[in-house]
């Protein structure tokens, strides 16, 4: 039997196709938020919602998103799914709060980053004549690209060294060093460089890869396009991570699971791990600052480092370049090189990345012990010849697609930015240990 409801009215007034899978996904996300990975229940509740909508909406009628969400709440309560109903209401309120922040004139662009850090980065950019795209282009025109690379890398290394020195000052107390930050902020390279500095001081380091704690793929939320959401911290077995960290610090041996990204399955109790009393556990994780990940570990035992692309550079119309756009481009390059992932898929998935960052990363930035700036002004001229053609194509592709407006807005903005930058094809001036090599390839480090 064909589906009666064909369209839905979005909050901005746009009329788009009605896709029942979106209701299932929203309910499933609420389930995950309360600790239940029960997709069957989500599908059952979603089916009831659609059935009621088709009974109550007149033939040819177009319900609004708000009407559908109200119906979801009613169905959950009718089925005595009290905990799930509460989770869904909180999920809905969180989404509303996120929309309000996007439109609020008082919303702070810097998020939770201390303004003193932002001011320091801006001051550096002004001192090095890199605070606008025009000034960057002028330096490139003068043949100063190698100088830009050298100056930028020196500032980044100084930041990492300062972080390492702070850990060293707390030698004996700190047992876990967390390197956290949003997608493609440069956590892996920073972890390596930080580890090298700590090892120079005689500290033993043991890396814990929390990716092995992912639940099986079939327990992850996904959208109507079949795109799985790895960006939520609830995709990780947080309870097991806490248990293992607590036992490791106590000197006990644990068996680490192993996650196979090819099959999307996790095998428990695979790798033996035990640390010495003088060892420090290194955790490189997207959600390292997320409270529940290490809630069982006393704060004095943890050093929390946060990494973000804090670029302080204005585009030709006087608007500061968005940090998330830098990271989007980095991820496109990295995923294409190391994961054979189409850049277009990265763009279409990015709304998940940003949504999770705003919910699960940004609110915890103020818990960090130190913040490292991983923005590299010289990455823009290097990235332009690699990605500009893609973005020009995507602007046309998504322009009139109401379901891909997020992708269109990002593509249009980044396209204009890249068109304004002088391209640099030759990357020989970029050292093999540069953070940018994590994304463009040719690094001396193994990722």
Q: Is residue 395 part of a domain?
A: yes
Q: Is residue 2 part of a domain?
A: no
Residue 109: predicted pLDDT = 40
Does 80 share its domain with 125? no
Residue at a domain's end among 103, 131, 164:
103
Residue 376: predicted pLDDT = 98
What are the CB-based long-range contacts (under 8 Å, 24+) for 140-148? Answer: 140/381, 140/422, 140/424, 141/422, 145/378, 145/381, 145/424, 145/429, 146/429, 148/377, 148/378
Does 37 share its domain with 162? no
Residues 412-428, buried b or exposed e (16+ Cβ, 10 A)?
bbbbebbebbbebeebe
Q: What is the DSSP string of 55-85?
A: HHSPTT---BHHHHHHHHHHHHHHTT-HHHH
Distance CA 257, CA 270 (A): 5
Average pLDDT of the chain, as a whole number: 89
Q: Beta strands of 330-369 (E only): which ranges?
A: none
Q: Is residue 181 part of a domain?
A: yes
Does 37 share its domain with 129? no
Going by pLDDT thresholds of 50, 70 and 90, the confidence category of residue 3 is: low
Residue 100: predicted pLDDT = 58
Mean pLDDT of 304-327: 95
Q: Is residue 228 part of a domain?
A: yes
| Prediction pTM value | 0.77
Residue 257: predicted pLDDT = 97
Q: Is residue 1 part of a domain?
A: no
Does 221 share its domain with 292? yes
Residue 107: predicted pLDDT = 37
Higher pLDDT, 323 or 53: 323
Residue at a domain's end among 103, 128, 147:
103
Rounded to the nearest 10°, the torsion over CA 375, 377, 382, 386 is: 60
**Could you give the number of structural domains in the chain?**
2
Residues in CB range of 175: below 8 A, 6 or more apart: 249, 279, 280, 281, 297, 301, 302
Does 99 share its domain with 119? no
Report yes or no: 197 and 164 within 8 Å, Cβ to Cβ: yes
Does 359 share its domain with 334? yes
Q: Is residue 445 part of a domain?
A: no
Domain span including residue 236: 115-440
Q: Is residue 108 part of a domain?
A: no
Does 84 share its domain with 182? no
Does 87 share its domain with 119? no
Mean pLDDT of 367-374: 96
Alpha helices in 170-322 (DSSP H): 187-200, 238-249
Q: Is residue 55 part of a domain?
A: yes
Distance CA 283, CA 267 (A): 20
Residue at a domain's end among 48, 71, 103:
103
Does 356 share its domain with 264? yes
Mean pLDDT of 354-377: 91
Does 92 share its domain with 121? no
Least confident of 84-88, 195-199, 225-229, 403-407: 225-229
Residue 2: predicted pLDDT = 54
Does 88 share its domain with 120? no
Does 95 share its domain with 137? no
Residue 359: predicted pLDDT = 83
């Amino acid at each position: 039997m064909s589906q009666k409801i064909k369209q839905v009215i979005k909050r901005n007034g746009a009329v788009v196709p009605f896709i029942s899978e979106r209701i299932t996904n929203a309910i499933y996300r609420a389930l995950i938020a309360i600790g239940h990975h029960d997709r069957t229940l989500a599908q059952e509740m979603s089916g009831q919602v659609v059935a009621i909508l088709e009974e109550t909406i007149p033939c040819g009628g177009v319900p609004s998103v708000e009407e559908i969400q109200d119906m979801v709440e009613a169905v959950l309560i009718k089925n005595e799914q009290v905990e799930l109903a509460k989770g869904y209401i909180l999920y809905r309120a969180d989404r509303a709060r996120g929309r309000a922040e996007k439109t609020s004139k008082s919303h702070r662009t810097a998020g939770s980053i201390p303004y003193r850090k932002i001011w320091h980065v801006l001051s550096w950019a002004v001192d090095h004549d890199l605070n606008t795209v025009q000034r960057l282009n002028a330096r490139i025109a003068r043949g100063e690209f190698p100088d830009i690379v050298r100056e930028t890398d020196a500032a980044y290394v100084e930041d990492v060294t300062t972080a390492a020195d702070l850990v060293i000052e707390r030698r004996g107390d700190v047992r876990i060093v967390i390197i956290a930050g949003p997608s493609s902020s440069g956590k892996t390279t920073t972890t390596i460089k930080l580890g090298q500095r700590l090892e120079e001081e005689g500290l033993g380091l043991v890396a814990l890869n929390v990716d092995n704690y992912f639940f099986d793929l079939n327990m992850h939320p996904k959208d109507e396009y079949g795109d799985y959401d790895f960006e939520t911290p609830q995709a990780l077995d947080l309870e097991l991570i806490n248990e293992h960290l607590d036992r490791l610090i106590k000197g006990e041996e644990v068996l680490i699971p192993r996650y196979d990204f090819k099959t999307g399955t996790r095998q428990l109790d695979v790798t033996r791990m035990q640390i010495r009393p003088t060892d420090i556990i290194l955790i490189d994780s997207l959600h390292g600052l997320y409270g529940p990940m290490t809630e069982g570990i006393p704060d004095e035992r943890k050093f929390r480092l946060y990494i973000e692309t804090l670029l302080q550079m204005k585009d030709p119309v006087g608007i500061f370049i968005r940090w998330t756009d830098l990271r989007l481009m980095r991820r496109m390059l990295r995923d294409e090189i190391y994961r054979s992932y189409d850049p277009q898929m990265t763009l279409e998935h990015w709304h998940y990345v940003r949504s999770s960052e705003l919910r699960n990363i940004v609110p915890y930035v103020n818990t960090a012990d130190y913040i490292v700036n991983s923005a590299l002004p010289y990455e823009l001229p290097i990235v332009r010849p690699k990605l500009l053609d893609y973005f020009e194509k995507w602007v046309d592709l998504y322009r009139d697609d109401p379901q891909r407006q997020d992708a269109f807005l990002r593509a249009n903005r980044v396209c204009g930015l890249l068109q304004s930058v002088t391209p640099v094809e030759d990357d020989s001036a970029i050292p093999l240990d540069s953070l940018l090599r994590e994304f463009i390839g040719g690094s001396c480090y193994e990722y």
